Amino acid sequence: MTTAPIRRQFGRGATLFREGDPGDCAYIIEHGAVEISAGEGAARQVLATRVAGDIFGEMAIVDSKPRSATVTAVEDTQVLVVSKQQLQARIQALDPVLRMVLGVILDRFRDSVRRMSGEAPSAPAQDAPETVERFSPLAEYSKAFERIELEQTVKHAVSAGEMTLFYQPIVRARDGAIAGFEGLARWNHPLHGILSPGVFMPAVEDSGLMGEFTRWAVHRAAEDAARFARAPGAPENLFVSVNVTADDICDPSFVDFLAHTLDAVAFRSASLELEVTEASLASNPKTAIDVLGKIRALGPSISIDDFGTGYSNLTYLTQYPVQKLKIDKSFVDKLNQRSQDSSVVASIIRMSHAIGLKTVAEGIEDAGQAETLREFGCDLFQGYLYHRPQPFEACLAL
């Protein structure tokens, strides 16, 4: 494989590329200067001069259309090459709405340049040679529209009470008895029925609704925890957990909100549990330790969710005021396949016990996994092997 050079040098007067060429990279000027021009012969117009620190040649990469102008070195010039792949990977990572906006701005810009130089504005379908990978406005736009629409309907759904929590029972490893429930968000969509978080959570996050959504879920879980606790014949210490991120709980008003909620539902108990993902804790462990301590003081207990996926700093693990550690499903999936993977799980359980934490294994699907986890001393089991998530009333009946 030949790799493209990272830097290139051009002598004064050299042409880097011409208007209409297909584009394969953009450039950042390290030293020197270039002139950007459009048109040929007498119609040639200088559009701009670019100097050290400027980027050029980005348009053809962003919208996969031919070069909009000719670029010539006006001094001896050195450029840093930005590959098509580097730039496009970043554009793909953008929100589809922003991608659409970028495409629209570039189209308008190209049209104004054409109009200024007396050419007709282009019909978008004809201006890219076949060799150029096409930017497909329609596909891009429909993604953007879908996204805008989804965000609007999610916003409505939260306020219209269409969001609900399903509960997945978590059982004791030793006898399979139900020890508690994890609350899992579902959207009870008027047309499409019950939708999973994978479908709507990205829209919740991107539309800035995450804080509101989490508070709704915590309130709901606290209410349901109280209802579970008061149900006739309910086992003692039945816990109900709900998922939050460290960002949610580190919001300065969260602890007050939680105190209010617990008062409102008259349920200040360690049976309400907040599951905080390990990954989210890792970004600001010191604040998290402080906030988690305040939450504990109000009653609720805390577990670390998706453990093993978040590269957390083990020195902090002993400082978090947590009671449980949930072993991520990816570890459970690998159990009994390679002895190394099983050993990792055995060590996580041993370590948890050594620092006084209970362990929950997530996503158990077969009896072999359960058997191994039981041998390792795992305390609690969660997974389709035992129970699927279900509505509150169905869990109450269990």
Residue 4 is given by DSSP the state: P
Tell me the CA end-to-end span of the chain in Å, nearest whole number.
61
Q: Which residues lie across from 25 on neighbouring strands? A: 83
Q: Do residues 390 and 397 make contact, with C-beta atoms less than 8 angstroms apart?
A: no
d(CA 230, CA 261): 17
Among 60, 79, 249, 274, binds ligand CMP (CB under 6 A): 60
Q: Specify the stretch interacting with ligand CMP by CB under 6 A; choose among 5-13, 64-72, 148-156, 291-299.
A: 64-72
38 vs 272 by CB, closer to Mg ion: 272
Q: Do residues 284 and 320 make contact, with C-beta atoms less than 8 angstroms apart?
A: no
Q: Which among Mg ion, ligand CMP, none contacts residue 243 (Cβ within 5 to 8 A by kind)?
A: Mg ion
67 vs 147 by CB, closer to ligand CMP: 67
Q: Do residues 55 and 100 make contact, with C-beta atoms less than 8 angstroms apart?
A: no
Backbone φ, ψ for residue 275 (5° rounding): -95, 115
Q: Specify the stretch interacting with ligand CMP by CB under 6 A; choose among 62-70, 207-215, 362-370, 372-380.
A: 62-70
Q: Specify the stretch interacting with ligand CMP by CB under 6 A; choose among 66-74, 122-130, 169-177, 254-262.
A: 66-74
Region 113-132 residues binding ligand CMP, contact defined as CB under 6 A: 113
- The interface mask with ligand CMP, positions 15-34, x = CB under 6 A, is --------x-----------
58 vs 212 by CB, closer to ligand CMP: 58
Examine residue 48 and tell whether it contacts ligand CMP (CB under 6 A).
yes
Examine residue 67 and tell whether it contacts ligand CMP (CB under 6 A).
yes
Examine residue 57 and tell whether it contacts ligand CMP (CB under 6 A).
yes
Q: Do residues 359 and 353 make contact, with C-beta atoms less than 8 angstroms apart?
A: yes
Q: Which among ligand CMP, Mg ion, none contacts residue 291 (Cβ within 5 to 8 A by kind)?
A: none
Q: Which residues lie across from 165 on neighbouring strands? A: 185
Neighbours of 342 (CB within 10 A): 19
- The interface mask with Mg ion, positions 273-312, x = CB under 5 A, is --x-----------------------------x-------
- Give the pair of three-digit tokens for residue 153: 């309907």
The residues, ordered by sequence, that sit 6+ positions from 50 with a Cβ below 8 Å of its Cβ are: 29, 33, 34, 35, 36, 56
Output b/e per residue, 212-240; b: 16+ Cβ within 10 A.
ebbbbbbbbbbbbbbebbeeeeeeeebbb
- The interface mask with ligand CMP, positions 250-289, x = CB under 6 A, is ----------------------------------------
Please name the helix (run of DSSP H) or strand (run of DSSP E) that holds residue 48, with its range, or none. Answer: strand 45-51
Examine residue 243 and tell whether it contacts Mg ion (CB under 5 A).
yes
Q: Which among ligand CMP, Mg ion, none contacts residue 292 (Cβ within 5 to 8 A by kind)?
A: none
Examine residue 68 and tell whether it contacts ligand CMP (CB under 6 A).
yes
Q: Do residues 10 and 79 make contact, with C-beta atoms less than 8 angstroms apart?
A: yes
Summarize as ranges the residues that interact with ligand CMP (CB under 6 A). 23, 36, 47-48, 56-60, 67-69, 71, 113
Summarize as ranges the residues that interact with Mg ion (CB under 5 A). 243, 275, 305
